[in-house]
């Protein structure tokens, strides 16, 4: 369990599958994430989910985001871990809309970034988010991420953001 101020991060479990399926089949969430809408049945999804839990990947680390009271409100992940380059990509989704714009996302991102820099030798964490998703960009900025480029991929326009270990250390001292 990794404890933040408003949230805690924990390992994923099979009981999360129903909530995750609901979020991944939600058209608005898919649009905000530039992700394809999931079309598989829940039975198939559950079977794939169970396999992924049984055989964890060394380059993808996913966590459930819970409120301090223990309510599962979303997920976050760092993936494509590249030990040679010392970097990984970060992703987050607060699936429960009741928890948007209340600082839960920023706390989850800040908590995950601190965990990564404390527990690994990685020196850079990066992400991409849609250029019109101002909420996500504000959330990442609050955590010390800065803009480092733009990308058009599969018809979507993204902004690229990053944080280096040094910036994180400075941000930790400031906040
Ligand atoms: C993106 C997401 C992780 C952010 O988490 P969150 O808890 O809602 O964000 P926070 O409350 O920590 O920060 C959001 C900030 O953006 C601001 N904001 C919201 N909408 C905004 C807009 N249209 N323009 C500018 N700022 C905006 C909020 O006021 C807040 O800033 P403040 O704390 O200074 O008031 C979460 O909303 C989410 O998962 N949304 C759905 C999926 C999604 O967008 N996925 C893409 C992730 S890359």
pLDDT of the residue at 172: 81
pLDDT of the residue at 63: 98
- Residues 8 and 66: beta-carbon distance below 8 Å: yes
- Atom nearest to 100 CA in ligand 1: 8
Return the higher-pLDDT residue of 139 and 171.
139
* Cα-to-centroid distance, 15 and ligand 1 (Å): 27
- Residue with CA at minimum distance from ligand 1 atom 27: 135
**pLDDT tens-digit profile of 2-24?**
999 999 999 999 999 999 999 99
pLDDT at 174 over 80: no
* Cα-to-centroid distance, 139 and ligand 1 (Å): 5
- Residues 111 and 119: beta-carbon distance below 8 Å: no
Q: What is the mean pLDDT of the chain?
A: 96
- Atom nearest to 99 CA in ligand 1: 7
Alpha-carbon distances, residue 57 vs 37, 52, 81, 150 (angstroms):
24, 8, 10, 29
Give residues with Cβ within 8 angstroms of 175, minimum separation 6.
none
- Residue with CA at minimum distance from ligand 1 atom 28: 101
CA-wise closest residue to 53 among 8, 107, 113, 10: 10
* Cα-to-centroid distance, 103 and ligand 1 (Å): 8
pLDDT-derived band at 44 (thresholds 50, 70, 90) equals very high
d(CA 33, CA 100): 15
Q: For residue 8, give the 3-state DSSP assignment.
A: strand
pLDDT of the residue at 138: 98
**pLDDT tens-digit profile of 45-99?**
999 999 999 999 999 999 999 999 999 999 999 999 999 999 999 999 999 999 9
Kind of pairing, strands 87-94 and 124-130? parallel
Dihedral pair phi/psi, residue 136, rounded to 5°: -65, -40
* Cα-to-centroid distance, 94 and ligand 1 (Å): 9
CA-wise closest residue to 156 among 35, 30, 34: 34
Tell me the chain's radius of gyration from C-alpha atoms.
16
pLDDT at 175 over 80: no
pLDDT-above-90 percentage for the chain: 96
**pLDDT tens-digit profile of 87-145?**
999 999 999 999 999 999 999 999 999 999 999 999 999 999 999 999 999 999 999 99
- Residues present in the chain in total: 175
pLDDT of the residue at 173: 73
């Amino acid at each position: 369990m990794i404890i933040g101020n408003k949230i805690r991060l924990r390992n994923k479990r099979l009981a999360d599958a129903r909530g995750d399926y609901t979020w991944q089949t939600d058209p608005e969430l898919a649009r905000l994430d530039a992700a394809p809408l999931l079309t598989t049945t829940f039975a198939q999804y559950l079977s794939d989910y169970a396999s992924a839990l049984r055989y964890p990947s060394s380059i993808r680390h996913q966590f459930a985001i819970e409120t301090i009271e223990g309510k599962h409100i979303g997920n976050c992940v760092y993936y494509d871990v590249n030990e040679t380059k010392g970097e990984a990509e970060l992703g987050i989704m607060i699936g429960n809309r009741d928890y948007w714009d209340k600082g839960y996302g920023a706390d989850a991102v800040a908590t995950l970034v601190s965990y990564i820099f404390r527990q690994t030798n990685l020196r850079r964490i990066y992400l991409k988010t849609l250029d019109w998703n101002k909420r996500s960009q504000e959330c990442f900025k609050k955590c010390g991420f800065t803009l480092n480029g733009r990308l058009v991929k599969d018809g979507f326009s993204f902004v690229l953001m990053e944080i280096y270990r040094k910036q994180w250390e400075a941000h930790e001292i400031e906040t």
